[in-house]
Structure 1
Amino acid sequence: MPAKDSVTGTILIATLLCVVCSLAVSAAAVALRPYQLANEVLDQQKNILDAAGLPTDEFGKPASQLSKKEIDNLYTWVSEQMVDLDTGEFNEEMDPADFDLVESATDPTLSTEIVPDPYDPGEDRRPNTMKVYFVRRGGEGPIRQVVLPIYGKGLWGTLYGYLALKSDLETIQGITFYQHKETPGLGGEVDNPSWKEQWNGLKLYDENGEPAAQVAKGPAPETDPYSVDGLSGATITSRGVTALVQYWASDQGYGPFLKKLGSKIKQESTAGDTAAASKPGNSTKKVGA
Protein backbone atom coordinates (compact mmCIF):
# COMPACT_ATOMS: atom_id res chain seq x y z
CA MET A 1 0.00 0.00 0.00
CA PRO A 2 1.63 3.28 -1.08
CA ALA A 3 1.96 6.12 1.41
CA LYS A 4 -1.01 8.47 1.47
CA ASP A 5 1.11 11.52 0.80
CA SER A 6 2.93 9.92 -2.14
CA VAL A 7 2.04 10.64 -5.76
CA THR A 8 0.83 7.08 -6.24
CA GLY A 9 -1.30 7.25 -3.09
CA THR A 10 -2.84 10.55 -4.15
CA ILE A 11 -3.72 9.17 -7.59
CA LEU A 12 -5.18 6.00 -6.06
CA ILE A 13 -7.37 7.91 -3.61
CA ALA A 14 -8.54 10.31 -6.35
CA THR A 15 -9.38 7.34 -8.60
CA LEU A 16 -11.32 5.57 -5.87
CA LEU A 17 -13.19 8.77 -5.05
CA CYS A 18 -14.12 9.24 -8.74
CA VAL A 19 -15.34 5.64 -8.99
CA VAL A 20 -17.43 5.91 -5.84
CA CYS A 21 -18.96 9.24 -6.96
CA SER A 22 -19.68 7.87 -10.44
CA LEU A 23 -21.42 4.83 -9.00
CA ALA A 24 -23.46 7.05 -6.67
CA VAL A 25 -24.52 9.37 -9.49
CA SER A 26 -25.38 6.41 -11.76
CA ALA A 27 -27.41 4.76 -9.02
CA ALA A 28 -29.27 8.00 -8.34
CA ALA A 29 -29.97 8.46 -12.06
CA VAL A 30 -31.38 4.93 -12.34
CA ALA A 31 -33.44 5.32 -9.17
CA LEU A 32 -34.85 8.69 -10.21
CA ARG A 33 -35.56 7.75 -13.84
CA PRO A 34 -39.12 6.49 -13.17
CA TYR A 35 -39.93 9.78 -11.43
CA GLN A 36 -38.45 11.74 -14.35
CA LEU A 37 -40.54 9.78 -16.85
CA ALA A 38 -43.65 10.28 -14.72
CA ASN A 39 -43.01 14.03 -14.60
CA GLU A 40 -42.53 14.13 -18.39
CA VAL A 41 -45.86 12.37 -18.88
CA LEU A 42 -47.56 14.71 -16.41
CA ASP A 43 -46.11 17.76 -18.17
CA GLN A 44 -47.38 16.55 -21.54
CA GLN A 45 -50.81 15.86 -20.06
CA LYS A 46 -50.90 19.42 -18.72
CA ASN A 47 -50.03 20.78 -22.17
CA ILE A 48 -52.70 18.66 -23.85
CA LEU A 49 -55.32 19.84 -21.36
CA ASP A 50 -54.23 23.48 -21.68
CA ALA A 51 -54.35 23.30 -25.49
CA ALA A 52 -57.90 21.97 -25.21
CA GLY A 53 -58.79 24.71 -22.72
CA LEU A 54 -60.17 22.28 -20.12
CA PRO A 55 -58.40 23.58 -16.98
CA THR A 56 -59.60 27.13 -17.67
CA ASP A 57 -63.13 26.01 -18.53
CA GLU A 58 -63.52 23.74 -15.52
CA PHE A 59 -61.35 25.38 -12.84
CA GLY A 60 -60.74 28.90 -14.12
CA LYS A 61 -56.95 28.47 -14.10
CA PRO A 62 -54.21 26.81 -16.18
CA ALA A 63 -53.08 23.22 -15.65
CA SER A 64 -49.87 24.38 -13.98
CA GLN A 65 -51.97 25.56 -11.02
CA LEU A 66 -53.89 22.31 -10.61
CA SER A 67 -53.03 19.43 -8.31
CA LYS A 68 -51.97 16.09 -9.74
CA LYS A 69 -55.30 14.62 -8.62
CA GLU A 70 -57.18 17.32 -10.53
CA ILE A 71 -55.01 16.68 -13.61
CA ASP A 72 -55.62 12.93 -13.37
CA ASN A 73 -59.38 13.43 -13.07
CA LEU A 74 -59.52 15.90 -15.94
CA TYR A 75 -57.39 13.68 -18.16
CA THR A 76 -60.05 10.96 -17.97
CA TRP A 77 -61.84 13.13 -20.53
CA VAL A 78 -59.04 12.38 -23.00
CA SER A 79 -58.68 9.26 -25.14
CA GLU A 80 -55.73 8.39 -27.37
CA GLN A 81 -55.66 6.71 -30.78
CA MET A 82 -53.08 6.06 -33.46
CA VAL A 83 -53.70 7.48 -36.94
CA ASP A 84 -52.12 6.58 -40.28
CA LEU A 85 -51.22 9.98 -41.75
CA ASP A 86 -51.22 8.80 -45.38
CA THR A 87 -54.69 7.26 -45.32
CA GLY A 88 -56.25 9.22 -42.47
CA GLU A 89 -57.51 5.95 -40.98
CA PHE A 90 -57.14 4.76 -37.41
CA ASN A 91 -54.40 2.21 -36.78
CA GLU A 92 -55.86 -0.28 -34.32
CA GLU A 93 -52.77 -2.51 -34.32
CA MET A 94 -50.46 0.00 -32.61
CA ASP A 95 -50.68 0.67 -28.89
CA PRO A 96 -50.63 4.45 -28.23
CA ALA A 97 -48.74 3.80 -24.98
CA ASP A 98 -45.78 2.44 -26.97
CA PHE A 99 -45.51 5.38 -29.35
CA ASP A 100 -42.42 7.58 -29.21
CA LEU A 101 -42.59 10.59 -31.53
CA VAL A 102 -38.86 11.32 -31.73
CA GLU A 103 -37.93 7.66 -32.22
CA SER A 104 -40.56 7.20 -34.94
CA ALA A 105 -39.56 10.39 -36.75
CA THR A 106 -35.91 9.36 -36.96
CA ASP A 107 -36.45 5.71 -37.91
CA PRO A 108 -36.59 5.34 -41.74
CA THR A 109 -38.80 2.25 -41.38
CA LEU A 110 -41.35 4.16 -39.32
CA SER A 111 -41.27 7.55 -41.03
CA THR A 112 -41.60 9.38 -44.33
CA GLU A 113 -39.30 12.01 -45.82
CA ILE A 114 -40.79 15.49 -45.70
CA VAL A 115 -41.08 17.22 -49.06
CA PRO A 116 -40.75 20.97 -48.27
CA ASP A 117 -43.26 22.07 -50.89
CA PRO A 118 -45.41 24.01 -50.34
CA TYR A 119 -45.14 23.70 -46.55
CA ASP A 120 -41.76 23.33 -44.89
CA PRO A 121 -41.61 22.65 -41.13
CA GLY A 122 -37.81 22.53 -41.29
CA GLU A 123 -37.65 18.84 -40.38
CA ASP A 124 -36.37 15.93 -42.47
CA ARG A 125 -38.97 13.28 -41.66
CA ARG A 126 -42.34 12.74 -40.03
CA PRO A 127 -43.79 9.51 -38.52
CA ASN A 128 -46.07 7.37 -40.67
CA THR A 129 -48.46 7.17 -37.74
CA MET A 130 -49.17 9.72 -35.01
CA LYS A 131 -50.96 9.60 -31.69
CA VAL A 132 -53.94 11.95 -31.55
CA TYR A 133 -56.14 12.88 -28.60
CA PHE A 134 -59.92 13.18 -28.37
CA VAL A 135 -61.61 15.21 -25.67
CA ARG A 136 -65.14 14.30 -24.56
CA ARG A 137 -66.99 15.59 -21.50
CA GLY A 138 -66.48 13.00 -18.81
CA GLY A 139 -64.79 10.82 -21.43
CA GLU A 140 -68.11 10.10 -23.15
CA GLY A 141 -70.40 11.57 -25.77
CA PRO A 142 -69.53 13.68 -28.79
CA ILE A 143 -66.05 15.00 -29.48
CA ARG A 144 -65.40 18.43 -27.97
CA GLN A 145 -61.83 18.91 -29.17
CA VAL A 146 -59.18 17.03 -31.11
CA VAL A 147 -55.59 17.58 -29.97
CA LEU A 148 -52.82 17.04 -32.52
CA PRO A 149 -49.10 16.68 -31.72
CA ILE A 150 -47.05 19.09 -33.85
CA TYR A 151 -43.37 19.87 -34.28
CA GLY A 152 -41.03 21.91 -36.46
CA LYS A 153 -37.87 23.98 -36.44
CA GLY A 154 -37.55 27.28 -34.62
CA LEU A 155 -34.38 29.35 -34.36
CA TRP A 156 -32.28 27.08 -32.14
CA GLY A 157 -33.97 23.74 -32.45
CA THR A 158 -37.21 21.83 -32.76
CA LEU A 159 -40.39 23.02 -31.10
CA TYR A 160 -42.67 20.23 -29.87
CA GLY A 161 -46.24 21.02 -28.97
CA TYR A 162 -49.96 20.43 -29.37
CA LEU A 163 -52.59 22.06 -31.54
CA ALA A 164 -56.19 21.66 -30.35
CA LEU A 165 -59.13 22.03 -32.73
CA LYS A 166 -62.77 22.54 -31.85
CA SER A 167 -65.33 19.98 -32.99
CA ASP A 168 -65.76 21.63 -36.40
CA LEU A 169 -62.08 20.74 -37.04
CA GLU A 170 -61.59 24.14 -38.67
CA THR A 171 -61.36 26.41 -35.63
CA ILE A 172 -58.36 26.41 -33.31
CA GLN A 173 -59.01 25.93 -29.61
CA GLY A 174 -55.44 26.45 -28.45
CA ILE A 175 -51.75 25.76 -28.90
CA THR A 176 -48.98 24.83 -26.47
CA PHE A 177 -45.29 23.95 -26.72
CA TYR A 178 -43.86 21.56 -24.15
CA GLN A 179 -40.28 21.49 -25.44
CA HIS A 180 -38.17 24.04 -27.32
CA LYS A 181 -34.83 25.85 -27.26
CA GLU A 182 -36.00 29.35 -28.17
CA THR A 183 -34.47 32.41 -26.51
CA PRO A 184 -36.27 33.54 -23.33
CA GLY A 185 -38.02 36.87 -23.87
CA LEU A 186 -37.88 36.50 -27.66
CA GLY A 187 -38.79 33.21 -29.35
CA GLY A 188 -39.44 31.83 -25.88
CA GLU A 189 -42.59 33.97 -25.85
CA VAL A 190 -44.34 30.99 -27.45
CA ASP A 191 -44.94 30.11 -23.79
CA ASN A 192 -46.55 33.48 -23.00
CA PRO A 193 -50.19 32.85 -21.94
CA SER A 194 -51.45 36.09 -23.51
CA TRP A 195 -49.90 35.19 -26.87
CA LYS A 196 -51.22 31.63 -26.76
CA GLU A 197 -54.68 32.96 -25.91
CA GLN A 198 -54.78 34.71 -29.30
CA TRP A 199 -54.97 31.33 -31.03
CA ASN A 200 -58.37 30.54 -29.50
CA GLY A 201 -60.98 31.01 -32.24
CA LEU A 202 -58.46 31.40 -35.07
CA LYS A 203 -59.44 29.77 -38.36
CA LEU A 204 -57.07 27.00 -39.44
CA TYR A 205 -58.14 27.00 -43.11
CA ASP A 206 -59.11 29.70 -45.60
CA GLU A 207 -62.20 29.72 -47.86
CA ASN A 208 -60.47 27.32 -50.27
CA GLY A 209 -59.61 24.81 -47.57
CA GLU A 210 -55.91 25.67 -47.57
CA PRO A 211 -53.94 26.00 -44.29
CA ALA A 212 -53.97 29.70 -43.39
CA ALA A 213 -53.37 30.11 -39.63
CA GLN A 214 -50.18 32.08 -39.13
CA VAL A 215 -48.03 34.29 -36.95
CA ALA A 216 -48.16 37.80 -38.44
CA LYS A 217 -45.24 40.13 -39.07
CA GLY A 218 -45.91 42.55 -36.25
CA PRO A 219 -49.37 43.06 -34.74
CA ALA A 220 -52.11 41.01 -36.36
CA PRO A 221 -55.00 43.01 -37.87
CA GLU A 222 -58.08 42.74 -35.64
CA THR A 223 -60.22 41.72 -38.61
CA ASP A 224 -57.85 38.95 -39.72
CA PRO A 225 -59.35 35.58 -38.68
CA TYR A 226 -56.15 33.69 -39.49
CA SER A 227 -53.38 35.61 -37.70
CA VAL A 228 -51.90 36.15 -34.24
CA ASP A 229 -49.37 38.82 -33.29
CA GLY A 230 -45.79 38.27 -34.35
CA LEU A 231 -43.20 37.52 -31.69
CA SER A 232 -41.20 40.71 -31.19
CA GLY A 233 -37.52 40.23 -32.06
CA ALA A 234 -38.12 36.60 -33.03
CA THR A 235 -38.76 36.59 -36.77
CA ILE A 236 -37.34 33.11 -37.37
CA THR A 237 -39.34 31.58 -34.53
CA SER A 238 -42.50 33.28 -35.83
CA ARG A 239 -41.89 31.89 -39.30
CA GLY A 240 -41.17 28.48 -37.83
CA VAL A 241 -44.45 28.37 -35.91
CA THR A 242 -46.37 29.42 -39.03
CA ALA A 243 -44.61 26.79 -41.11
CA LEU A 244 -45.15 23.92 -38.68
CA VAL A 245 -48.82 24.73 -38.05
CA GLN A 246 -49.58 24.96 -41.77
CA TYR A 247 -47.59 21.81 -42.54
CA TRP A 248 -49.46 19.68 -40.01
CA ALA A 249 -52.79 21.09 -41.20
CA SER A 250 -51.95 20.21 -44.81
CA ASP A 251 -52.45 16.95 -46.70
CA GLN A 252 -48.87 16.03 -45.84
CA GLY A 253 -49.80 16.09 -42.17
CA TYR A 254 -53.23 15.57 -40.59
CA GLY A 255 -55.23 16.71 -43.63
CA PRO A 256 -56.50 13.25 -44.70
CA PHE A 257 -57.36 12.34 -41.11
CA LEU A 258 -59.24 15.58 -40.42
CA LYS A 259 -61.28 15.23 -43.62
CA LYS A 260 -62.36 11.69 -42.77
CA LEU A 261 -63.03 12.55 -39.15
CA GLY A 262 -65.08 15.57 -40.23
CA SER A 263 -67.24 13.38 -42.44
CA LYS A 264 -67.70 10.90 -39.60
CA ILE A 265 -68.71 13.63 -37.15
CA LYS A 266 -71.28 15.00 -39.62
CA GLN A 267 -72.74 11.52 -40.21
CA GLU A 268 -73.03 10.89 -36.48
CA SER A 269 -74.63 14.29 -35.97
CA THR A 270 -77.14 13.66 -38.77
CA ALA A 271 -77.94 10.20 -37.41
CA GLY A 272 -78.43 11.68 -33.94
CA ASP A 273 -80.79 14.37 -35.25
CA THR A 274 -82.77 11.77 -37.19
CA ALA A 275 -83.06 9.52 -34.15
CA ALA A 276 -84.17 12.43 -31.97
CA ALA A 277 -86.80 13.50 -34.51
CA SER A 278 -88.19 9.97 -34.72
CA LYS A 279 -88.83 9.68 -30.98
CA PRO A 280 -92.50 9.74 -29.87
CA GLY A 281 -93.64 13.24 -29.04
CA ASN A 282 -91.13 14.87 -31.41
CA SER A 283 -93.31 14.71 -34.54
CA THR A 284 -95.11 17.86 -35.60
CA LYS A 285 -98.90 17.76 -36.03
CA LYS A 286 -100.83 20.10 -38.24
CA VAL A 287 -103.54 22.10 -36.53
CA GLY A 288 -106.92 20.56 -37.22
CA ALA A 289 -105.50 17.25 -38.43
Structure 2
Amino acid sequence: MAETDWNPWRRLLALPNESRAKTIIVAFLVSAVCAVLVSGATVILRPIQTANRAAEEQARISDLVRGIPGMSTLLDASGGTLSTVVIDLGTGRAAQGVTAETLQVALADQANWTPLSAGQDIAGLAQRPNYAQIFLLREGDEISLVLLPVTGQGYGGRFDAMLALHGDMNTIAGIAITQHAETPGLGGRIEDPSWQESFPGTLVRDDSGEVRFKVARGDATTEYEVDGITGATRTGTGFTRMMQFWLGPDGYGPLLDAIARGGF
Protein backbone atom coordinates (compact mmCIF):
# COMPACT_ATOMS: atom_id res chain seq x y z
CA MET A 1 0.00 0.00 0.00
CA ALA A 2 1.41 3.37 -1.09
CA GLU A 3 2.26 5.78 1.68
CA THR A 4 -0.02 8.85 1.85
CA ASP A 5 1.74 12.11 0.94
CA TRP A 6 0.69 14.75 3.48
CA ASN A 7 2.49 17.63 1.70
CA PRO A 8 -0.36 19.87 0.45
CA TRP A 9 1.70 21.42 -2.33
CA ARG A 10 2.70 18.05 -3.80
CA ARG A 11 -0.86 16.79 -3.43
CA LEU A 12 -2.08 19.86 -5.36
CA LEU A 13 0.43 19.34 -8.15
CA ALA A 14 -0.54 15.69 -8.36
CA LEU A 15 -4.12 16.59 -9.23
CA PRO A 16 -4.99 16.37 -12.94
CA ASN A 17 -4.82 19.70 -14.80
CA GLU A 18 -8.51 19.53 -15.67
CA SER A 19 -9.39 19.37 -11.96
CA ARG A 20 -11.70 22.23 -11.01
CA ALA A 21 -10.24 22.39 -7.50
CA LYS A 22 -6.69 22.68 -8.87
CA THR A 23 -7.76 25.43 -11.30
CA ILE A 24 -9.47 27.44 -8.56
CA ILE A 25 -6.58 27.07 -6.09
CA VAL A 26 -3.92 27.97 -8.66
CA ALA A 27 -5.93 31.00 -9.81
CA PHE A 28 -6.31 32.12 -6.19
CA LEU A 29 -2.60 31.72 -5.50
CA VAL A 30 -1.60 33.63 -8.64
CA SER A 31 -4.01 36.43 -7.72
CA ALA A 32 -2.66 36.57 -4.17
CA VAL A 33 0.96 36.72 -5.36
CA CYS A 34 0.11 39.48 -7.87
CA ALA A 35 -1.71 41.45 -5.16
CA VAL A 36 1.30 41.21 -2.86
CA LEU A 37 3.66 42.31 -5.64
CA VAL A 38 1.45 45.26 -6.59
CA SER A 39 1.05 46.34 -2.97
CA GLY A 40 4.77 46.04 -2.38
CA ALA A 41 5.56 48.07 -5.47
CA THR A 42 3.10 50.74 -4.38
CA VAL A 43 4.72 51.03 -0.95
CA ILE A 44 8.23 51.11 -2.42
CA LEU A 45 7.37 53.63 -5.16
CA ARG A 46 5.20 55.94 -3.04
CA PRO A 47 8.10 58.09 -1.73
CA ILE A 48 9.45 58.41 -5.27
CA GLN A 49 6.03 59.38 -6.62
CA THR A 50 5.56 61.91 -3.81
CA ALA A 51 8.97 63.43 -4.50
CA ASN A 52 8.21 63.63 -8.22
CA ARG A 53 4.87 65.32 -7.57
CA ALA A 54 6.56 67.81 -5.25
CA ALA A 55 9.22 68.54 -7.89
CA GLU A 56 6.55 69.01 -10.56
CA GLU A 57 4.60 71.34 -8.27
CA GLN A 58 7.75 73.35 -7.50
CA ALA A 59 8.51 73.66 -11.22
CA ARG A 60 4.93 74.73 -11.92
CA ILE A 61 5.07 77.35 -9.19
CA SER A 62 8.43 78.65 -10.42
CA ASP A 63 7.04 79.01 -13.95
CA LEU A 64 3.92 80.66 -12.57
CA VAL A 65 5.91 83.12 -10.49
CA ARG A 66 8.08 84.11 -13.43
CA GLY A 67 4.90 84.78 -15.37
CA ILE A 68 3.88 87.53 -12.94
CA PRO A 69 4.57 90.90 -14.58
CA GLY A 70 8.03 92.07 -13.52
CA MET A 71 8.60 89.02 -11.30
CA SER A 72 11.22 87.36 -13.50
CA THR A 73 13.41 90.47 -13.33
CA LEU A 74 12.89 90.75 -9.59
CA LEU A 75 13.84 87.11 -9.00
CA ASP A 76 16.90 87.32 -11.25
CA ALA A 77 18.10 90.47 -9.50
CA SER A 78 17.75 88.74 -6.13
CA GLY A 79 19.36 85.46 -7.13
CA GLY A 80 16.11 83.83 -8.22
CA THR A 81 16.06 81.19 -5.49
CA LEU A 82 12.70 80.41 -3.93
CA SER A 83 12.31 78.38 -0.76
CA THR A 84 9.06 76.87 0.38
CA VAL A 85 7.54 76.26 3.79
CA VAL A 86 4.21 75.00 5.08
CA ILE A 87 2.76 77.34 7.66
CA ASP A 88 0.16 76.95 10.37
CA LEU A 89 -2.35 79.66 9.51
CA GLY A 90 -3.56 79.88 13.08
CA THR A 91 -0.16 80.85 14.47
CA GLY A 92 1.58 82.28 11.42
CA ARG A 93 4.54 80.00 12.13
CA ALA A 94 6.09 77.05 10.33
CA ALA A 95 3.87 74.00 10.72
CA GLN A 96 5.04 71.23 13.01
CA GLY A 97 4.97 67.79 11.42
CA VAL A 98 3.53 68.90 8.08
CA THR A 99 5.78 69.38 5.04
CA ALA A 100 5.21 70.17 1.38
CA GLU A 101 5.35 66.43 0.70
CA THR A 102 2.74 65.55 3.33
CA LEU A 103 0.50 68.62 3.00
CA GLN A 104 -2.11 67.01 0.75
CA VAL A 105 -2.37 64.01 3.06
CA ALA A 106 -2.85 66.34 6.03
CA LEU A 107 -5.56 68.33 4.23
CA ALA A 108 -7.42 65.14 3.35
CA ASP A 109 -8.23 64.97 7.08
CA GLN A 110 -11.25 67.14 7.82
CA ALA A 111 -9.83 67.79 11.29
CA ASN A 112 -7.23 70.00 9.61
CA TRP A 113 -9.84 72.47 8.37
CA THR A 114 -11.43 75.30 10.33
CA PRO A 115 -15.13 76.16 9.80
CA LEU A 116 -15.77 79.85 9.23
CA SER A 117 -18.66 81.76 10.71
CA ALA A 118 -20.82 83.97 8.50
CA GLY A 119 -18.97 87.02 9.75
CA GLN A 120 -15.56 85.52 9.01
CA ASP A 121 -16.42 83.98 5.66
CA ILE A 122 -16.25 87.08 3.48
CA ALA A 123 -14.50 85.09 0.72
CA GLY A 124 -17.28 82.48 0.51
CA LEU A 125 -15.10 79.51 1.47
CA ALA A 126 -17.18 77.95 4.27
CA GLN A 127 -13.97 76.56 5.78
CA ARG A 128 -10.27 77.35 5.74
CA PRO A 129 -7.35 74.90 5.70
CA ASN A 130 -5.20 74.96 8.83
CA TYR A 131 -2.05 74.72 6.72
CA ALA A 132 -0.82 76.40 3.54
CA GLN A 133 2.32 76.17 1.46
CA ILE A 134 3.97 79.51 0.80
CA PHE A 135 7.11 80.56 -1.06
CA LEU A 136 9.83 82.91 0.14
CA LEU A 137 12.67 84.80 -1.49
CA ARG A 138 15.46 85.72 0.91
CA GLU A 139 18.31 88.18 0.61
CA GLY A 140 20.69 87.20 3.37
CA ASP A 141 18.67 86.99 6.57
CA GLU A 142 15.86 89.18 5.23
CA ILE A 143 12.74 88.05 3.41
CA SER A 144 12.43 90.23 0.31
CA LEU A 145 9.40 88.58 -1.23
CA VAL A 146 6.62 86.22 -0.13
CA LEU A 147 4.25 84.36 -2.44
CA LEU A 148 0.84 83.45 -1.05
CA PRO A 149 -1.80 81.23 -2.66
CA VAL A 150 -5.27 82.73 -2.25
CA THR A 151 -8.73 81.57 -3.24
CA GLY A 152 -12.24 82.95 -3.15
CA GLN A 153 -15.64 83.05 -4.85
CA GLY A 154 -16.26 85.24 -7.86
CA TYR A 155 -19.39 85.75 -9.94
CA GLY A 156 -18.95 82.55 -11.95
CA GLY A 157 -17.42 80.36 -9.28
CA ARG A 158 -14.15 79.85 -7.50
CA PHE A 159 -10.97 81.61 -8.51
CA ASP A 160 -7.42 81.00 -7.35
CA ALA A 161 -4.43 83.32 -7.49
CA MET A 162 -0.83 83.66 -6.38
CA LEU A 163 -0.18 86.95 -4.58
CA ALA A 164 3.37 88.32 -4.27
CA LEU A 165 4.19 90.83 -1.51
CA HIS A 166 7.41 92.76 -1.03
CA GLY A 167 9.42 92.37 2.16
CA ASP A 168 7.44 95.05 4.01
CA MET A 169 4.46 92.65 3.79
CA ASN A 170 2.31 95.57 2.72
CA THR A 171 3.21 96.34 -0.89
CA ILE A 172 2.00 94.13 -3.72
CA ALA A 173 4.77 92.98 -6.05
CA GLY A 174 2.44 91.19 -8.45
CA ILE A 175 -0.37 88.73 -8.88
CA ALA A 176 -1.12 85.77 -11.14
CA ILE A 177 -4.56 84.24 -11.64
CA THR A 178 -4.19 80.46 -11.74
CA GLN A 179 -7.82 79.40 -12.13
CA HIS A 180 -11.20 81.07 -12.57
CA ALA A 181 -14.69 80.54 -13.97
CA GLU A 182 -15.60 84.15 -14.75
CA THR A 183 -17.42 85.26 -17.91
CA PRO A 184 -15.08 85.64 -20.91
CA GLY A 185 -14.72 89.27 -21.92
CA LEU A 186 -16.11 90.52 -18.61
CA GLY A 187 -14.98 89.06 -15.29
CA GLY A 188 -12.66 86.79 -17.25
CA ARG A 189 -10.46 89.82 -17.85
CA ILE A 190 -8.92 89.25 -14.41
CA GLU A 191 -6.42 87.02 -16.22
CA ASP A 192 -5.42 89.76 -18.66
CA PRO A 193 -1.84 90.97 -18.10
CA SER A 194 -3.02 94.55 -18.59
CA TRP A 195 -5.20 94.29 -15.47
CA GLN A 196 -2.65 92.38 -13.41
CA GLU A 197 -0.03 95.02 -14.22
CA SER A 198 -2.02 97.52 -12.16
CA PHE A 199 -1.27 95.60 -8.93
CA PRO A 200 2.47 96.22 -8.30
CA GLY A 201 2.96 99.06 -5.81
CA THR A 202 -0.57 98.86 -4.39
CA LEU A 203 -0.70 98.86 -0.58
CA VAL A 204 -2.87 96.36 1.24
CA ARG A 205 -3.05 97.61 4.86
CA ASP A 206 -3.00 101.02 6.48
CA ASP A 207 -0.88 102.09 9.46
CA SER A 208 -3.41 100.62 11.91
CA GLY A 209 -3.15 97.20 10.25
CA GLU A 210 -6.63 97.33 8.72
CA VAL A 211 -6.85 95.65 5.33
CA ARG A 212 -7.76 98.37 2.87
CA PHE A 213 -7.17 96.67 -0.48
CA LYS A 214 -10.05 97.06 -2.92
CA VAL A 215 -10.93 96.61 -6.57
CA ALA A 216 -12.42 100.00 -7.43
CA ARG A 217 -15.66 100.54 -9.31
CA GLY A 218 -13.87 102.38 -12.07
CA ASP A 219 -10.42 103.94 -11.87
CA ALA A 220 -8.39 103.52 -8.68
CA THR A 221 -8.32 106.70 -6.59
CA THR A 222 -6.26 105.62 -3.55
CA GLU A 223 -3.01 103.77 -2.97
CA TYR A 224 -5.02 100.79 -1.72
CA GLU A 225 -7.05 100.32 -4.91
CA VAL A 226 -6.62 98.77 -8.33
CA ASP A 227 -8.73 99.65 -11.35
CA GLY A 228 -12.09 97.97 -11.64
CA ILE A 229 -13.23 95.95 -14.65
CA THR A 230 -16.06 97.49 -16.63
CA GLY A 231 -19.18 95.32 -16.50
CA ALA A 232 -17.72 92.96 -13.89
CA THR A 233 -18.69 94.53 -10.58
CA ARG A 234 -19.46 91.19 -8.91
CA THR A 235 -16.12 89.77 -9.99
CA GLY A 236 -14.38 92.81 -8.52
CA THR A 237 -16.34 92.48 -5.29
CA GLY A 238 -15.44 88.80 -5.01
CA PHE A 239 -11.79 89.60 -5.66
CA THR A 240 -11.83 92.31 -3.01
CA ARG A 241 -13.36 89.97 -0.43
CA MET A 242 -10.88 87.23 -1.27
CA MET A 243 -7.94 89.57 -0.73
CA GLN A 244 -9.38 91.05 2.44
CA PHE A 245 -9.94 87.60 3.92
CA TRP A 246 -6.50 86.19 3.16
CA LEU A 247 -4.67 89.34 4.23
CA GLY A 248 -6.69 89.51 7.44
CA PRO A 249 -6.54 87.75 10.82
CA ASP A 250 -8.23 84.55 9.64
CA GLY A 251 -5.86 84.19 6.69
CA TYR A 252 -2.21 85.19 6.43
CA GLY A 253 -2.46 88.11 8.83
CA PRO A 254 -0.49 86.41 11.67
CA LEU A 255 2.22 85.36 9.20
CA LEU A 256 2.54 88.84 7.68
CA ASP A 257 2.84 90.38 11.14
CA ALA A 258 5.52 87.86 12.15
CA ILE A 259 7.57 88.50 8.99
CA ALA A 260 7.19 92.29 9.24
CA ARG A 261 8.61 92.34 12.76
CA GLY A 262 11.43 89.97 11.84
CA GLY A 263 10.05 87.06 13.82
CA PHE A 264 9.82 84.48 11.04
TM superposition score normalised by structure 1: 0.66
Aligned length: 214
One of 61, 81, 85 as aligned partner of 1:77: 81
The offset of 1:165, in angstroms, is 0.7
Q: CA deviation at 1:50?
A: 3.7
Q: 1:90 maps to which residue?
A: 94
Q: Deviations over 1:82-129 (max 9, x none)?
A: 1111111111421113323xx866752111112242560011111001
Given residue 257 of structure 2, which amino acid in structure 1 is its aligned partner? K
Cross-structure match for 1:262: 260
Amino acid at match of 2:63: K
Partner of 2:158: 158
- Would you tell me which structure has more strand in proportion to its own residues? 2
Larger radius of gyration between Structure 1 and Structure 2? 2
Cα root mean square deviation, aligned: 3.0
- Residue 46 of structure 1: how far off its partner (Å): 2.3
CA deviation string 1:47-99 (max 9, x = no partner): 23344843144679xxxxxxxxxxxxx99611111111111111142111332
Q: What is the aligned partner in structure 1 of residue 65 from structure 2?
A: 48
What does residue range 9-88 of structure 1 map to in structure 2 within 5 Å?
A: 42-51=59-68, 53-57=70-74, 77-88=81-92
Over the matched positions of the two proteins, sequence identity in percent amounts to 32
Is the 8 Å Cα contact of residues 71 and 174 (structure 2) preserved in structure 1? no
Aligned with residue 242 of structure 2, among 216, 241, 244: 244
Aligned equivalents of 1:92, 1:48: Cα separation in 2: 26
CA distance in 2, matches of 1:119, 1:252: 9
Partner of 1:131: 133
In 2 relative to 1, CA 265–89 (structure 1 residues): closer, same or farther, beyond 3 Å? Answer: closer
Aligned runs of 1:172-187 on 2, under 5 Å? Answer: 172-187=172-187
Cα distance in 2 for partners of 1:179, 1:152 equals 11
Q: What amino acid does structure 1 have at the position aligned with 2:130?
A: N
Select the structure that is richer in helix: 1
**3-state DSSP class of the match of 2:231?**
coil
Tell me the equivalent position of 2:123: 121
Q: Distance in 1 between matches of 2:107 and 2:79?
A: 26
SS of the residue 1:55 aligns to: helix
After superposition, where does 1:183-202 map in structure 2 within 5 Å? Answer: 183-202=183-202
Q: Which amino acid aligns with 2:239?
A: V
